[in-house]
A and B are shown apart, each in its own frame.
Chain A
Amino acid sequence: MQVQSTASGRRCPSGEWPRDELEDLLARVTRPGRYVGGEFNLRHKPGARPRVVLSYPDAYEVGMANQALQILYAGINDESAGSAERAFCPWPDMADLMRARGVALWSLESQSPVATCDLWGITLPHELTFTNVLEMLDLAGVTLHAAARRDDEPIVLGGGPAVANPWPLAPFFDAFFIGEAEGRLGELVEALGAASRAERLEALGRVAGVWLPPRDDAGRAGPPARRQVFAAFSSTMPVTRPVVPVFEAVHDRAVVELMRGCTAGCRFCQAGMWYRPVRERPADMVVDAARQTLAATGCDEVSLVSLSSCDYSAIAEVVERVRALRPGLRVSLPSLRIDSAAVQLARFGAGQRGSVTLAPEAGTQALRDRVNKGIDERQVLESVEAVFSGGFTGLKLYFMLGLPGESDDDAAAIAQMAARAADLAKRIGRGRARLSVAVSSYVPKPHTAFEHEPFAGEAVLRRRQGLLRDALPHSVKVAFHDVAASLVEASLARAGRGSDALVEGAWRAGARFDGWSEHFDVRAWDAAAGSCGVVLGETAFSALGAAPWREAVDSGIEEDFLKEERRRAAAGLLTEDCRGGRCVSCGVCGDGVEMDVVA
């Protein structure tokens, strides 16, 4: 036997890697690639200060698809003296081993304990990740309650869309950043230069957008923080050198954010309010960014992302020019609104493969008008036709159950619309077309027109799921969101001061990875709710009609505008998109914040 043997003692350029205690853990867990880093475009700045760790409280492959993390990572590493590293929530098998071995959570770049960083920034995407925040704090060995943290512990800063109501996590964070942080990174990094923890917190508190929660139940909170809008969005190049996982992630494509904000005015949509106003990047910048990102990532697909990419003023031009960058390049538009999509889909679909999601949201015209969706069934069916005519082979129709004013008939009407769409798919798709329906449960959110509407409740949601399941044609595949998980979301989304007890109780009872059906355990939440005297599904520590989130967050959206929108919803009146020229007085524009669209 001839064996080609290497010289003994050949060393890896990464050195003795990983350190022994980590290697022992990595040998025993599923998907060890989650915990090792080593990706394309990773930045590592040994010794740089301040050392910031950025986290997304979910598994690595989910967190790496988050754009905010990429933006902040590139911003801190490339434009400041500080360093940004990453840490994600360890999967339960790893978490249990870490506890058993006494190994603290480490960052991917330096393999150093997260607890030794200066600032730990955690993005909060939605309520079902809240227990993972506690899990990460605990695994890192960082004191759970901010008020008890020692001087040498990092400042824990929360951000992301779920800080629209920070109360359920307030005691676990030293501070929250409300809104888009890109324009404030320099100030945030500078504030970390103060000598003591108290001084650093004081300095952070002076940065616009930072809210300091009260440190005890009776304590006074700081004034509400104004949501920050990155006014220079349109003139700033997007991230063109993102970290690209070598381990398979949720989204494996180059991403270019072409637009931020959406003023379509869907009354249930928190993102539509939270990211106002609309700001578009010029077409030349988007195309150049796509070219640079493709070269830096090696991807063979570009995703042009925003809340509603078909609404981007120059979408047809940009798609055409990006496609011309490389023969056969795939371009995807992940968020399509039906009214603007129908005319574009056939053109965009040419030469593409795969599937598309369209969101009629509700089955009847009355309910669609109530939520200001502003589309009729003819437009939905035109879009379905355009999808399959354009070459796509899969279509998912997305609906919600439990919208304010919904009846059982509205639920049944979803099945009728799906049946008509299935007929079209069969006729046009020549046997290759696949139609599916996804149905989630609506949870009213703060800073929306429905912020004071009651949650539909478990009984109603389960009954309507049953009605819909029975009425749908057998050829249509349907997936329902777990009602029990919606109960948790409903309890936390508008919760008030003290609701942290519910989150902590659930976590102590074993809740983690609540967004994953295989890990979600409603019994842990039920037990915690029982201990807190809360009924799961009812808003925790707040009454319907109260708005505790306004003590912490000034979203810039006028309360009067939201009240008027609620009234118009009840009357079934549509409110037009302000991109059309008529201001709807939502209150966001002014003080240097304006809509900025491509001419």
Chain B
Amino acid sequence: MTGHSASPRRAGETTVADRHWLVWFARCGPASYLSHLDTARALQRTFARAGIDLALSQGFRPKVRFSLPLPLPVGAAGFDELAVAEVTAGAPPPSDAVRALRAAAPEGLTPTRVRECSARVRPRPRAARYAAEVRGDAVILAAEAARFAAEDEVLVERTSPKGRRTLDLKRYIGDLIVEAVPGGARICFSVRHRSDGAARPQEVVDLLAGRAGCPTVVHRLTRLGVSFEGVPRDEMSGREE
């Protein structure tokens, strides 16, 4: 659950009538450079500006009931991102809410759909598809993609504040396609989200670009789509309102 400490308004009030929403949104342009927490904060502020009250948790320090099930890396755009929100009973119908949220959102954050859902919905990411541009020779990069596909195991080391960990990218990466674009190449790939985690887009680029001997700086990283477990299929296929 992502949520900042909020004022205790409505804390302790009925939660029976609170409603559960799945909110799809696009994050691009300047908003691409927000961190996960900043994205959550900006969306919560968008709700407040739209006059739609988010429900609060119980307790001494209530938190808003709002979460982003899958963080988007800083610098990445995403056109089909999902937020899970719990709103108070007085919230408008979803179709009106989309219009109000769009009017209240900052540049680059665009709510696209709102669907009511049951309180039991707990979206868990299963897979995500990305596109990343690098400055390098598309032919060499494509050869490295083919080499990757032929390998049984590709071990990379991840260093984080928690320590070092070795992962096998082959367990997490699905199809890997390289195509030429002006000035470089676009790498498209899918990432499987497993119970033990997932590969990071930068790790895929580091591997491929590093092997190809080109800069590993990612340009125009975009998450093209995400599939979630726990979200009904008809909810996933709704189109922009």
A36:B127 contact, CB within 8 angstroms: no
B28 near A: Cβ within 8 Å? Answer: yes
| Interface size counted on chain A using CB atoms at 8 A | 44
Interface residues of B in 106-153 (CB under 8 A from A): 106-110, 126-129
The reply to whether A38 and B190 contact each other, CB–CB distance below 8 Å, is no
User: By the criterion CB–CB under 8 Å, are A33 and B35 in contact?
Assistant: yes
Residues of A within 8 A of B23 (CB): none
In the complex, A525→B74 CA distance in Å?
37
Q: Which residues of B contact A4 (CB under 8 A)?
A: 80, 225-227, 236-237
Binds A, one of B37-45, B87-95, B160-168: B37-45
How far does the alpha carbon of A24 sit from the alpha carbon of B75 in the complex, in Å? Answer: 11
The answer to whether B49 has its CB under 8 Å from any CB of chain A is: yes
Cα distance A14–B44 when bound, in Å? 21
B181 within 8 A of A: no
CB closest residue in chain B, given A244 = B45
Cβ 8 A contact of B41, one of A27, A246, A301: A246
Which residues, 193 to 241 on B, are CB-close (under 8 Å) to A?
217-220, 224-227, 236-237
Nearest to B192 among chain A residues (CB) is: A1
Q: Does any Cβ of A come within 8 Å of B71's Cβ?
A: no
Interface size on B, residues (CB 8 A): 53
**Residues of the B chain whose Cβ atoms lie less than 8 Å from the Cβ of A39:** 106-107
Chain B hits for A330, CB < 8 A: 7
- CB pair A33–B104 under 8 Å, yes or no, is no
Q: Does A102 contact B (CB under 8 A)?
A: no
Roughly how many angstroms separate A20 CA and B34 CA in the complex, as a whole number? 18
| Contact present for B106 and A38 (CB under 8 Å) | yes
Q: Does B69 contact A (CB under 8 A)?
A: no
Report Cα–Cα, A271/B174, bound state, in Å: 63
Contact between chains at A38 and B9 (CB < 8 Å): no
> Which of A290-298, A378-386, A425-433 lies at the interface with chain B?
A290-298
The answer to whether B219 touches A27 (Cβ under 8 A) is yes
CA distance A20 to B181 in the complex (A): 14
Beta-carbon contacts of B42-62 to A below 8 Å, as 1s and 0s? 101111110100000000000
Known: A24-B219, A42-B107, A297-B45. A3 touches B7 (CB 8 A): no
A-B contact count (CB 8 A): 138
Q: In chain B between 23 and 39, which residues have their CB closer than 8 angstroms to a CB of chain A?
A: 26, 28-31, 33-35, 37-38
Please tell me which stretch of A139-147, A261-269, A321-329, A561-569 contacts chain B, meaning at least 4 of its Cβ atoms lie within 8 angstroms of it: A321-329
Residue of A nearest to B74 (CB): A32
B75 touches A26 (CB 8 A): yes
Looking at chain A's contact residues, the main secondary structure is loop
List the A side residues contacting B75 at CB < 8 Å: 26-27, 32
Tell me the smallest distance from the CB of A237 to a CB of chain B, in Å. Answer: 19
Whether A12 touches B77, Cβ cut-off 8 Å, given contacts A298-B45, A300-B6, is: yes
B110: A residues at CB distance < 8 A: 13
Does the CB pair B34–A247 fall under 8 Å? yes
**What residues of A have a CB within 8 angstroms of the CB of B38 in the complex?**
33, 246-248
Residue of A nearest to B35 (CB): A33
Residues of B within 8 A of A20 (CB): 219
In the complex the two chains form, is A10's CB within 8 Å of B79's CB?
Answer: yes
A517 at the interface (CB under 8 A from B): no
Which residues on A sit within 8 Å (CB–CB) of B46? 298
> Would you call A516 an interface residue if the criterion is a C-beta within 8 Å of the partner chain's C-beta atoms?
no
Q: Which of A15, A28, A300 contacts B48, CB < 8 Å? A: A300
Whether, in the assembled complex, B3 has its beta carbon less than 8 Å from a beta carbon of chain A, the answer is no
Verify A3–B29 contact, CB threshold 8 A: no
Within the assembled complex, what's the spacing in Å between the Cα atoms of A28 and B216?
11
> How close is A350's CB to chain B, nearest CB, in angstroms?
13
Top 8 nearest A-B pairs (CB, nearest first) are: A38-B30, A14-B29, A12-B28, A298-B48, A328-B9, A298-B45, A328-B7, A36-B30
Task: Sample 15 A-B pairs with CB under 8 A, ordered by A number.
Answer: A3-B190, A6-B225, A14-B30, A27-B219, A33-B33, A33-B38, A33-B74, A38-B107, A247-B34, A248-B38, A298-B44, A298-B46, A298-B48, A300-B7, A328-B10
- Residues of A participating in the B interface, judged by any CB pair closer than 8 Å: 1-6, 10, 12-15, 17-18, 20, 23-24, 26-28, 32-33, 35-40, 42, 244, 246-248, 295-301, 326-330
Given contacts A10-B79, A298-B47, list 19 more A-B pairs with CB under 8 A: A4-B80, A5-B129, A5-B224, A6-B224, A17-B108, A27-B75, A38-B31, A38-B106, A38-B108, A40-B45, A42-B106, A246-B38, A246-B42, A296-B49, A297-B45, A297-B49, A327-B7, A327-B10, A330-B7
Name B's A-contacting residues (CB within 8 A).
6-11, 26, 28-31, 33-35, 37-38, 41-42, 44-49, 51, 74-75, 77, 79-80, 104, 106-110, 126-129, 174, 190, 192, 217-220, 224-227, 236-237
